[in-house]
Structure 1
Amino acid sequence: MTFKLTLIRGLPGSGKSTLAKALAMDGVNTIHLEADMYFVNSQGEYHFDPSQLPNAHQWCQQQTEQGLRSKQNVVVSNTFVRRWEIVPYWRLAKQYRAQFEIIECQGDYGNIHGVDASVITTMKKRWQTWQNDRQ
């Protein structure tokens, strides 16, 4: 049985979450994850705490590993600005023998979390490409 880990990367407001939700709705054993889910409380309200960001990313990686261990397709949407942010997921895909793909979103739909334009500009300047030859 073939299963896949798909990373969707892009700047805030580029359409990552929308695309990830659409891919996860294919009805074929697929889960959608993103670090932002860590900040949603039991009432469904989003409360971002920058001091918890490392924990949010660790949680996302752990959930990804659980999904891959269960041979589920996993779609992870995060900014993934730097290569080092992708590497742990690439390693998980290799470890669990999952297909690995990266999709980049480049739209500009306005971000729902109120990320300041100056922060987005900084992220653009720090953007690194991913070399597919790692596979």
Structure 2
Amino acid sequence: MNDAVPTQSLLLIRGLPGSGKSTLAKKLCQKDAAIHLETDMFMTDSKGRYQFNPKKLPAIHARCEQETRTHLDAGNSVIVSNTFSQIWEMQPYLDMAREADIPVQIIECQGQFKSIHDVPARSIENMRNRWENLPQR
């Protein structure tokens, strides 16, 4: 019998829209009882319908970061699935994990499924063009 206490962790899942980030995060949360967060969760109207508004992105990203910090401070493991096309977009999460001495892992999804939010092909191409690869260890 294994009575080991589960280790708290932070998992960042990155990828273009339609790459499978949300699906993977949901499956991992079912398995590990982690908290799943992503900016899309905070872009809904009063009836729960997704409403993308680029003007709200900075505030929405700040909210996702704050929710992550709140859950990590409470001792929960957290999975954040966002596009994270550039490394600096992950930095606040990496910093909070380092400050709390919580292990962090990054997974990059590369699937090519239909975006559940109907992100225009042009927008996805723009994200692809500014994509930064993770540094090699």
Report how far residue 69 of structure 1 moved.
0.5
Write out per-residue CA displacement over residues 3-25 of structure 1, whole angstroms, 9 at most, x where no aligned residue. 11000000000000000111111
- Would you say 1:21 and 2:26 are equivalent positions? yes
Report how far residue 42 of structure 1 moved.
4.2
**Which of 100, 116, 124 is residue 112 of structure 1 equivalent to?**
116
**Which of 95, 100, 103 is residue 96 of structure 1 equivalent to?**
100
- Paired letter, 2:23: T
The alignment's C-alpha RMSD in Å is: 1.4
The count of residues paired between Structure 1 and Structure 2 equals 132
- Paired letter, 2:26: K
* Alpha-carbon distance between aligned partners in 2 of 1:102 and 1:36, rounded to the nearest angstrom: 19
Write out per-residue CA displacement over residues 27-70 of structure 1, whole angstroms, 9 at most, x where no aligned residue. 53x10000011112343211111110111100000000011111
* Alpha-carbon distance between aligned partners in 2 of 1:56 and 1:85, rounded to the nearest angstrom: 13
Aligned to 2:41: 37
Aligned to 1:52: 56
The 10-residue stretch of structure 1 (67-76 or 35-44) with the greater mean CA deviation from structure 2: 35-44
Share of identical aligned residues, percent? 46
**Which of 127, 131, 135 is residue 135 of structure 2 equivalent to?**
131
The 10-residue stretch of structure 1 (66-75 or 42-51) with the greater mean CA deviation from structure 2: 42-51
Gap runs ≥5 in structure 2: none
* Alpha-carbon distance between aligned partners in 2 of 1:112 and 1:23, rounded to the nearest angstrom: 19
- Paired letter, 1:83: I
Query: Which stretches of structure 1, 4 residues or longer, exceed 4 Å deviation after superposition?
Result: none
1:18 aligned counterpart, secondary structure: helix
